[in-house]
Amino acid sequence: MKILKQRTRIVILTILLIITVVGTFSYISLEKIQNILIDKSFSSLTTSRDIKKQQVKDFFARKIIDIEAVARSLDIASLINNLNDLDDDLDNDFVFNNQEFLANYTKKHGYLEMFILCVEKGNVLYHQKKLTPIKTSIENETFKENRLSEIWKKTVESKRVVFLDMKKSAEKEEEPSLLMGTRIYMDGKFKAVLVFKISNEGLSKIMNFRKGYGTTQEDYLLGPDNLRRSESNVCQSTHNSKLSSSSVIKIQCDSKAVTKALARGKSQEIIVNYNGNRILSAYSPININQDLQWGILSEIDEKEVLIVLQSIRDTIIIYAVMFVFLISAIVLFVVYRMFELDKKEIDKSKKMNQNLRSINKKLAESEYEVILKNEQLEIKVDEVITKNKQNQNLLFQQSKMASMGEMIGNIAHQWRQPLNALSALNIRLGIKYQRGKLSDEEMSIFAEKSNQLIQGMSHTIDDFRNFFSPKKSSQWFYVEEAIEEALHFIESSYNINNIYLMNYTSTNIEIKNHKNELIQVLLNIFNNSKDAIKENNTNNGMVSINVSATLESLKIMIQDNGGGIKQEIIDRVFEPYFTTKFQDEGTGIGLYMSKMIIEESMQGKLKLENSADGVLTTIELSITPKHP
């Protein structure tokens, strides 16, 4: 009974140790994945914020060009001359030659109204809607809501195009708008003030572009009064209100990020919104022509960013529970078997003692022989005990090998490469945009490639789990197709680093094996070649791919000019955790996993050797005839 209690305690301690180890490894890995997802989301938010910030600036730059062009046009000069010739008490039914052209122009370019104001008193010389007679005072009730006196005074005092920020109406619900004014010169003299009333529809169209966005992601503009300067699809679906008609929007926008953006701050951080939800926010100030001091923000719910992580966490918990249950059952079974073996050994020892007593009685006259027999029996007992201890140690090592820590470490490594590829695609997209060469087709290609990489990342865990499963099935696929898919993933990163890819494969060989694993190995090799070329600053970096085949096997040969591997370490490159890179650049498990995949899972061979001015990597796989 004492032995049974002792072994029961050992079982409980063993189970607790396994739970602790699995839980620790899972927690660390999930934290790393969470940081990766949040960093990726912040990068996307920052890119969206900066792109729309530039689009808003371009929007106002075009408006400035518009009003300056109109102010200098012959149409405006002709209109002012006609107005000067009219009597002060004339009603507003007069029509001049180019009146229809100006009306169509303002409507086409998103202007709600156009005014021409007198320089001296600011009287309204002309307005397109013709709500009052000409030369009506700007203090008239009709124009008070338009704030014409403010824009007139600001324009007269300034020699540049000026803006008057939109303002919430206290009396009636009307579309939010801005006023823009500039001077009209004729023959070098300041003759009048031209005012355009700008709808915020154009700004809302820019900020509401949501292609590729998540459900809760939104971009918006805010003024110093904490009110939005653009409509929000997310805000409208939540509050059913627009900019100038809801105080709820002011409360929603009165956040820490809004305060910092309006205080000229530019950063990214996680904040808590008015609902108590954690939000990822990338914010920045935006200044328009010295008159509009706004803030621009791009935000998304943290829950949406981490939804993939939650799915992974649930999966890990399920498998961890199953794993602990399985290990517990195995340990209990082993302890039970050991208890049975001990019982048999005890019975055997009792029987042997009985035989010894019988022998002692028969050989009482020969003490030497009795002592010799006892020594032989002691040796046998020691051998049995030693063998039992060895079996116990062996079982412990086998249970230790089942740890999930190695798998999680491999998953983290395999995610590094598609994340690098995503980063490269984002950089290329930014460069194309800055150069003004970004097209809809390239945006579509970017979205397609990004989706492929993300889908590949989501299947990585299943791929690694299936890799060690004896039930894992193979499939028929073309080798050239697998190579093309791998090249597709790393094409952008190679282009950014000016590395040439020379694909000489022209075979049409179909084999039955594990396609995804082969792609993973090719990605490891391509990325190692890229890193070597970058590290050695190789001019005209180049990686070539070729395939040769016989009736029974094929070889995939990958040659780079990255300087090769030092002879003293070339025999160690397939060892786990051996790397020549910095810790944040590699874990030393890529080639180790590649060799395991090729030789253990795909029943092939993987070989690295120095060749010319780089490394030649050879993958050899068998060809199985395909029966009809």
CATH number at residue 105: 3.30.450.20
Note the pLDDT of residue 78.
82
Question: What pLDDT is recorded for position 406?
Answer: 38
Residue with tokens 């029974």, as numbered in its chain: 552
Query: Which of 82-96, 144-158, 571-585 has the weakest average pLDDT?
Result: 82-96
pLDDT at 169 over 70: no
Per-residue model confidence (pLDDT) at position 194:
93
| HEC profile of 519-585 | HHHHHHHHHHHHHHHHHCCCCCCEEEEEEEECCCEEEEEEEECCCCCCCCCHHHCCCCCCCCCCCCC
Residue 278 lies in a domain: yes
Instruction: Tell me which residue range forms the domain holding 137.
Output: 72-199
pLDDT of residue 617: 95
Q: Would you say residue 20 lies in a domain?
A: no
For position 211, what pLDDT does the model report? 84
615 and 624 in contact (C-beta within 8 Å)?
no
pLDDT at 126 over 90: no
Any residues with CB less than 8 A from the CB of 484 and at least 6 apart, and which?
503
CA 92 vs CA 88, 127, 130: distances in Å: 11, 9, 6
Q: Are 546 and 505 in contact (CB under 8 A)?
A: yes
- Say whether both 189 and 86 belong to one domain: yes
**Do 226 and 247 share a domain, yes or no?**
yes
**Structure tokens that stand for 556 in this block:** 């995939």
Verify that 81 and 139 share a domain, yes or no.
yes
Note whether residue 229 is domain-resident: yes
Assign residue 31 a region (left: φ > 0; alpha: ψ between -120 and 50; beta: otherwise): alpha
Residue 621 has pLDDT above 50, yes or no: yes
Place of tokens 């020892």: 349
Shared-domain flag, residues 558 and 599: yes
Per-residue pLDDT, averaged over 111-131, amounts to 82
Q: What's residue 460's pLDDT? A: 57
**Are 571 and 480 members of one domain?**
yes
Domain membership of residue 90 (yes or no) is yes
Whether residue 178 is found in the same domain as residue 279: no
Residues 482 and 606 in one domain: yes
Same domain, 155 and 298: no
Q: What one-character-per-residue DSSP string does 369-428 give?
A: HHHHHHHHHHHHHHHHHHHHHHHHHHHHHHHHHT-SHHHHHHHHHHHHHHHHHHHHHHHH
Average pLDDT, stretch 262-266? 80
Most trustworthy range by pLDDT among 125-129, 331-335, 511-515: 511-515
Query: What's the rounded Cα separation, in Å, for the pair 7 and 12?
Result: 9
Q: Does 591 lie in the same domain as 476?
A: yes
What's the pLDDT band for 21 if we cut at 50, 70, 90?
Answer: confident
192 lies in some domain: yes
Residue 62 has a CB neighbour count (10 Å cut-off) of: 12
Give per-residue pLDDT as tens, 429-475.
888 888 887 788 888 888 888 888 888 777 655 545 544 444 457 89
CA distance linking residue 490 with residue 627, whole number of Å: 35
Using the structure block, give the residue that is written with the tokens 């282009």.
495
Q: For the segment 567-576, what is each residue's pLDDT rounded down to a tens digit?
A: 888 888 888 7
Are residue 224 and residue 82 in the same domain, yes or no?
no
Q: Are residues 483 and 616 in the same domain?
A: yes
One domain for residues 213 and 178: no
pLDDT(87) > 80: no
> For residue 102, what are its two tokens?
């100006």
Domain endpoint, select from 255, 290, 305: 305
8 A C-beta contact, residue 557 and residue 543: no
**pLDDT beyond 90 at 556:** yes
Boundary of a domain, candidates 152, 169, 199: 199
Whether 489 is covered by a domain: the verdict is yes
Task: For residue 101, tell me if it sits in a domain.
Answer: yes
Domain count, the chain: 3
Q: Among 239-248, 338-347, 503-512, where is mean pLDDT lowest?
A: 239-248
> What is residue 113's predicted lDDT score, i.e. its pLDDT?
87
| The two structure tokens encoding residue 346 | 């005890």
Predicted confidence (pLDDT) at residue 562 exceeds the cutoff of 70 = yes
Domain boundary among 182, 199, 216: 199
SS3 219: strand
Report d(CA 425, CA 476) in Å as an integer. 31
For residue 516, the domain's CATH number is 3.30.565.10
Q: Is residue 98 part of a domain?
A: yes
Token pair belonging to 540: 């005209």
What was the pLDDT predicted at 97? 66
